Amino acid sequence: FFHLQALEHVNARLLELYPDDEERFDIVLMTKNHAQVGVRLINSINHYGLTIERFCMTGGKSPIGYLTAYLTNLYLSADSEEVQEAIEAGIASATMFTANKDVPYSDMQLRVAFDGDAVLFSDESEQIAKEQGLDRFFEHEQLNENKPLAQGPLKGFLEDLGKLQKKFYAKNERLNCPIRTFLVTARSAASSGARVLKTLRSWGLEVDEALFLAGAPKGPILEKIRPHIFFDDQMFHIEGAQKLGTIAAHVPYGVAQKYHKCA
């Protein structure tokens, strides 16, 4: 599902560098299964050598109500209705889609890729592109280049990844950091890229790599990056990523959902 070995490698490195600090990835398994299934789940987790110590088994009820109590930074599920419910509750969330072919992933570096509009940022600019066309969008972005975009549903998760990265930087481990982040956007760098980069700077955030594709397909780039997960708000990009072997996660947020439902 979400290459847990890479997460556990990050945790192991953090434990080496900060043995008294508990700020690490904490994985909670949430399931609608009844508690009686717990033994089977425990056996499976032990079989694969994973460290998942917290379970939430709701006996058929939605687990969304427990997310706040678990201090959830990111909720991943194959159930799109639950994901929508979590997004509406203000929790970073996405619907997982497995890749259509197997490709090798790194177990030594967690690689996370994000779309920009309606994922890291609000859908303010995407609304203009969808409703008024690309020319108006480019004009709007250039006029507002120095006005930061509002935050989107996964801004907080990028922030959390950044906090962990800075722990490695503080120990002079920038070049060996086991977390790497990517912005993969359909925006054009020349006409609408500056606002994105200036927004990240205004937030005090950075991504390791920014790829502006100017409308080109994302799948081939993602195949090269090989992220453990790629977040996008448009199913068209999710499907393109899947076909070329990327585990993708759909963020049901913003104006693109209206167009997707009408399609």
Catalytic residue among 21, 115, 123, 208: 115
Reported as type and span, the H/E element at residue 249 is: strand 248-250
Domain ranges of the chain: 1-95, 110-257
Higher pLDDT, 118 or 103: 118
Looking at 35-39, 231-235, 254-258, which range is the least confident one? 254-258
Per-residue DSSP letter, 130: H
Instruction: Check if the beta carbon of residue 111 is closer than 8 Å to that of residue 10.
Output: no
Per-residue pLDDT, averaged over 233-252, amounts to 94
Contacts of 118 (CB under 8 A, 6+ apart): 126, 152, 153, 233, 251, 253, 254, 255, 256
CB 209 within 8 A of CB 36: no
**pLDDT of res. 260:** 57
Residues 150-163, mean pLDDT to the nearest whole number: 96
Q: Within 123-255, where are the H helices?
A: 124-132, 134-143, 155-170, 189-203, 219-225, 235-243
CA-to-CA distance for 252 and 223, rounded, in angstroms? 23
pTM, to two decimals: 0.91
Beta-bridge mates of residue 183: 114, 210
Query: Is 115 considered catalytic here?
Result: yes
User: What stretch of H or E contains 29?
Assistant: strand 28-31
| CATH number for region 110-257 | 3.40.50.1000
- Residue indicated by tokens 């990050």: 10
**pLDDT tens figures, 56-95:** 888 888 889 999 999 999 999 999 999 999 999 999 999 9
Taking residues 168-183, what's their average pLDDT?
A: 96
- Please state at what angle helix 134-143 crosses helix 189-203, rounded to 10 degrees: 40
- Give dist(CA 194, CA 91) in Å, integer: 28
User: Cα(129)–Cα(131) distance, rounded to whole angstroms?
Assistant: 6
Helix (H) / strand (E) element for 180: namely strand 179-185
- List, in order, residues 6 or more apart from 172 with CB less than 8 Å away: none
Least confident segment among 92-106, 174-188, 239-253: 92-106
Sign (positive/negative) of CA torsion 175, 17, 210, 204? negative
